[in-house]
Structure 1
Amino acid sequence: MSINIMDIVGRVSYQCDIMFRVIDIREQNGKKIAILYGEDIRLIADAPLEDLLAVSQSMREKKAKEFYTREEQSLQLFQQDVDLLKQRREYEATDGYSKAYNYFQMPGRVLHLDGDPAYLEKCLSLYEKIGVPVTGIHCNEKEMPIKIGQLIDYYRPDILVITGHDSYSKAKGKKEDINAYRHSKHFVQTVKEARKKVPHLDQLVIFAGACQSHFESLIHAGANFASSPYRVNIHALDPVYIVAKISFTPFMERINVWDVLRNTLTGEKGLGGIETRGVLRTGMPYNREQNTES
């Protein structure tokens, strides 16, 4: 069976452990090589066509169900966190429930740059479900450093997500060498350009990276949170869970890094960060009548 662009495949040499989407087929040293994007994880890879096996519809449905179950579990845990935050804010804003409920909240605004349009759509759907205000932009990883300054000026986000696909190649160098990574250097440069616009770590909170990204370089460049400390793969939706937690945490509170990571799909091996303030702001009064009329 021939392999074509947009087919869902697995790599025989890896026991088809990950489902990939074929995004391109190229000629290399007389062999046809497929460029692959992970279906549920932010990994980019390449493989000879003879190493690829088309994934059956039944197997695709089985894998999708497994990921969907994990996503739902993470969403439920995250929703519990958000509900607790809301209850605490309501208690504080009403002086221990002794005053009328008369306040409104402004969650942090997110600008999400993604190298994969399919993942971006998945993320935007989750942001909407959670209630995070977001602008999503599909942008090739190599173009991100060039475009980020203008995008920050235009959208003025509280939280910036810089993600897409990445991978580490042992053949290109040691894990410490950023040139051994597919897109880490582009993510790093994008973070640096963003920090030229907003140097303060709490005025613009940045998440950067994808599967196997060079975590240390991203943090040193100015990211608050990044992937991947142990160079493992991260799930497509992990950035959403991190920035949503930040978006709903009051700006006077510091976020414990473990509190952010514990409900992600990947956990501390794939994600890490530094102590950071939340960005949610509470205001009053809230005019219910006017809000109802509008």
Structure 2
Amino acid sequence: MKLKKGDIVARLSYECDLLFRVVSIRGDTVELAGEDMRLLADAPADDLVLISEEERTAYQKEAKALEENSYRLFRQDAKLMKQRSEYEVTSEYATSPNYFELRGRVLHIDGDSLYLRKCTDLYEKLGVPVYGVHLHEKEMPEQIESLLQMVQPDIVVITGHDAYLKTKGDERDLRAYRHTKYFAECVRVARKQTWHRDELIIFAGACQSHFETLIKAGANFASSPDRVNIHALDPVYIAARISLTSFMDSIRLTDVLRNTITGEKGLGGIETKGVMRRGMPLKIDH
């Protein structure tokens, strides 16, 4: 079997549990990136099987069902939040709401260009203002300060691919993680702009990232408490929830994690306030 960059494959030694995209080939070693999960992996070429279009379609159907369920739950919660906002802003009067919303702006830095496109599409679908940037994880710490100054976001998402490599050390050894150290350094640089965790909300991490390190560095939300894989779109649901929640309200951790695809094994965080602000009156341009 002749593999090439961009092929969709699965690992025989893992019973073909996940689909991967071929990133590069070095001799007999193939570097892989998860097709739906934010995981990087290396595998020998003879451990890989090429996935047919029919097999890929069947897998994507199952993955799509998970995504649609998370989207449905998120929209339900967003509708309830909006109804409560209308009730509060109109002082309980039965009048048409006459207010506007300034939703939190997201700076989303992603190590995977295809995932970035999927994420920005979902942000737009959810009505969340976003500025997306594709950077290799190693480049992120050098670029984040200038990006923060340019975009001036309320929320920053620092994600891409990661992996815990048992052969490099135990779970406490940061050297055993592919990219956690770069994500953590990004968080530290961002926190030099403001240490207050309600002035700049930070999500950091990808599949199997060292959760404790990212939280200690200053992230509000991070992956991955149980060192499991996280879905490509999980950071979007967390950032969007914060963007659409009033700064007068705190984020209920159970609610925000419930709407993700991976859940609390892959994602966690600390008590955090929303960033959306409401204003009156609503002026409509004619």
The two structures have a TM-score, normalised by structure 1, of 0.96
Query: Between the two proteins, what is the percent identity of the paired residues?
Result: 59
Where 2:164 maps in the other structure, the secondary structure is coil
Q: Map residues 74-223 of structure 1 onto 2, 5 A cutoff.
A: 74-223=70-219
The one-letter code of the counterpart of 2:215 is I
Deviation at 1:97, TM superposition (A): 2.7
Structure 2 match to 1:26: 26
Q: SS of the residue aligned with 2:237?
A: helix
SS state at 1:47 partner: strand
The residue number in structure 1 matching 2:6 is 6
CA distance in 2: counterparts of 1:100 and 1:107, whole angstroms = 20
Q: Matched residues in 1 for 2:36 and 2:182: separation?
A: 22
Contact 1:90 1:97 in 2 (8 A): no
Aligned to 1:43: 39
Contact 1:42 1:211 in 2 (8 A): yes
1:166-191: CA deviations, max 9, x gaps? 00000000001111000000000000
Equivalenced residue count is 286
Deviation at 1:101? 1.9
Q: What is the one-letter code of the residue matched to 2:71?
A: L
Measured after TM superposition, the shift of residue 4 of structure 1 is: 1.2
Deviation of 1:100 (Å): 4.4
Once the two structures are superposed, residues 110-167 of structure 1 have per-residue CA deviations (whole angstroms, 9 ceiling, x without a partner) of 0000000000000011001110000000011001001000100110000000000000
Q: Unaligned regions of 5+ residues in structure 2, if any?
A: none
2:16 counterpart letter in structure 1: C
After TM superposition, give the deviation of residue 207 of structure 1 in Å: 0.3
Name the CA distance, whole Å, in 2 between partners of 1:109 and 1:217. 25
Q: Distance in 2 between matches of 1:101 and 1:74?
A: 28
Q: Deviations for 1:183-215, whole angstroms, at most 9, x for unmatched residues?
A: 000000000000011211000000000000000
2:82 counterpart SS class = helix
Cα distance between partner residues in 1 of 2:96 and 2:266 = 44
Aligned to 1:244: 240
SS, match of residue 131 in structure 2: strand
Letter in 2 for 1:19: L
Unaligned runs of 5+ in 1: none
The RMSD of aligned alpha carbons is 0.8
Tell me the equivalent position of 1:287: 283
Aligned equivalents of 2:254, 2:263: Cα separation in 1:
9
Amino acid of the structure 1 residue aligned with 2:220: N
Large movers: runs of 4+ above 6 Å: none
